[in-house]
Amino acid sequence: MIYLRIKRFIFESSDPYHPVAVSRVKLSMLHNLTYNVEFPEDLYYYLYYPFVHFVNLIRKKLIDMLVGFEMQLKQSLKLSLTPELRQAINILQYSTHELMDFLHEQANENPVLEMTAATNDPLASNFEPSIRPHIMDYRKRETSSNRYHNDFNPINNLSCTTDTLEAHLLEQLSFFPSLKDSETKIVEFLIGSLNENGVLDIDIKGAALLFSVSAEKIEAMIEVLQSFDPIGVGAKDLTDCLLIQIRKQENDNQLAYTIVEKHLSDLAEKRYRKIAALYKVTLQEVQEAADFIRTLNPRPVSHFSDEMIHYIVPDVFVDKEKDGYRITVNDSFLPKPSINPFYKDRTAMKPEDPANDYVKSHLHDAQLLIKGIEQRQLTLYKVTATIMEAQQEFFLRGMAGLKPMTLKDISEKLQLHESTISRATSNKYIQTPHGLFKLRNFFTRGLNHVNGKDCESTTTIKEKIKVLIADEDKIKPFSDQKLCQIFESEGTMISRRTIAKYREDLGIPGSSKRRRF
């Protein structure tokens, strides 16, 4: 008897963004050839071995055929991303800004596409999903914050340019009529030599030779530049920048001046006792000098830029209403693509036209683009609605109510692949009653409670650490071990090392550097 078992598995997927949406076929061939033949005793020695040899030959031929057949199937059934699927995936992953640029690019390349100007009204969205508007029922529960309102105006969030540092300084130079033309040219040269941080790093002797003047003249013009606004521009380094700002102060800050000039590293490490012992002053005086130094601006030109300033445009809005929340996918910045009627009817009117292939190709591309955008908006809507259902406490209490949640949790509820959820939430922002957040911020791990309560998210733990440190006694700040004990007393099991990591993630120094005198 010959047993040949072929297993065939077909996997169907409802996820339009996954390559196996059509089907995946896996063939597994199990070769188990056996025989059970009875021979008369007198023919046994004559036929048995030839028969075995014959069966083995057949067995080998069958195996070779099946292996070759399996290899051919593997080659023919190998799946790859089609251009259409790749475009749909890219559209899903685009942020609002990126999608806007992509649509303008497609409009320039495809003559069949027409683009209607954006509305610039986030609440007047043309997107109407095929499911009913999602209203979360919180009638029996009240939110703890009503700080959010619908005054968001995307017009105010458009990219804009600021006055450049060079233009700002040259304008001030025009108010120095007492300077000679040669001196004005030197100051203009110095302004042009500033780096993006407003620092002047030039060879004074080389500049003196360039303008045929003394080094003292160059230094005098540097002092003129350093008198300009913002105070600190034209410094040679950070220390010089801070010293310039201290010299402009009317109050006597000699100790602060000395600390910046000679002990900036000690100040950064809060070695106050060392400074107090060196200059025979009290710890309180050193503390006051340190507090004053922290009011100075280490980057006085940071608000000047030669580049565009890009503001964040929310991809989704969540509005508080009387009976729940309303989700709005923001397409107010997006031009609305449509198909030009002239090209749409052209192929039917002139079937023999040789240009029909060109028109049909672009019609197909335009239809795929429109479908991809609609699918993106619907997917983003569904993902946001599912996140809201899972994170109800966040929308009631803010960050303190955030619960642990993974991409897998959302993918299982929507029956979509995790990679689809990842793309739908990548580089996306959501405007909520509690502020503007990345959609990815809602996915976080958690720590277990010893008393059986729901585990807390890492974001919630960090918020608690921030609050505890903000309210601590500044003279005796909490150590990481003390914070660990506080959490354990509330039932949250967390190690001291984890506390230290979360504290560093928040940019909060250790207790020794938080202590005040």
State the average pLDDT over residues 359-371: 86
Q: Give the chain's radius of gyration (CA, Å).
A: 36
Instruction: State yes or no: pLDDT of 236 exceeds 90.
Output: no
Selected residue with higher pLDDT from 27 and 215: 215
pLDDT band at 332 (very low <50, low <70, confident <90, very high): confident
pLDDT, tens only, 74-97: 444 455 567 778 888 888 888 888
- Sorted by where each begins, the domain ranges of the chain are 2-76, 87-158+312-357+377-403+428-441, 165-293, 446-514
Buried b (16+ CB within 10 A) or exposed e, 38-76: eeeeeeeeeeeeeeeeeeeeeeeeeeeebeeeeeeeeee
Selected residue with higher pLDDT from 411 and 163: 411
pLDDT, tens only, 260-284: 888 888 888 888 889 889 889 888 8
Rounded distance, CA 369 to CA 363, Å? 10
pLDDT band at 384 (very low <50, low <70, confident <90, very high): very high
pLDDT, tens only, 465-486: 888 888 888 888 888 888 888 8
Residue-level pLDDT at 131: 35
Residue-level pLDDT at 382: 93
Instruction: State yes or no: pLDDT of 49 exceeds 80.
Output: no
Adjacent-strand bridge partners of 316: 329, 430
pTM of the entire predicted model: 0.56
Residue with tokens 């059986």: 452
CATH topology of domain 446-514: Arc Repressor Mutant, subunit A (1.10.10)
Instruction: State yes or no: pLDDT of 121 exceeds 70.
Output: no
pLDDT, tens only, 441-471: 888 876 655 554 556 677 778 888 888 888 8
Q: How many helices (H) and strands (E) does the chain have?
A: 21, 10
Rounded distance, CA 417 to CA 121, Å? 32
- Asked if residue 404 has a cis previous peptide bond (ω within 30° of 0), the answer is no
Return the percentage of the chain with pLDDT > 70, whole number: 71
Task: Look at residues 221, 476, 429 and name the one whose alpha carbon lies nearest to residue 317.
Answer: 429
- Work out the angle between the directed axes of helices 356-390 and 418-425 (0-180°, nearest 10): 90
Selected residue with higher pLDDT from 22 and 191: 191
pLDDT band at 226 (very low <50, low <70, confident <90, very high): confident
Strand-pair category, 336-339 with 113-116: antiparallel
Residue-level pLDDT at 77: 47
Contact 456, 402 (CB under 8 A): no
Q: What contacts 396, CB < 8 A, 6 or more positions away?
A: 138, 141, 142, 143, 144
pLDDT, tens only, 289-324: 888 888 888 888 877 755 555 678 899 999 888 888
pLDDT, tens only, 11-48: 345 666 665 443 333 333 333 444 454 545 555 555 55
Indicate the range of 269-283, 339-353, 382-396, 415-429 predicted with least confidence.
339-353
Instruction: State yes or no: pLDDT of 347 exceeds 70.
Output: no
Residue with tokens 């052209």: 346
Average pLDDT, the chain: 75
Helix extents (H) in 36-149:
41-76, 83-93, 96-109
Structure tokens at 249: 């102060």
Instruction: State yes or no: pLDDT of 380 exceeds 90.
Output: yes
Residue-level pLDDT at 323: 81
Q: What contacts 463, CB < 8 A, 6 or more positions away?
A: 399, 400
Residue-level pLDDT at 386: 92
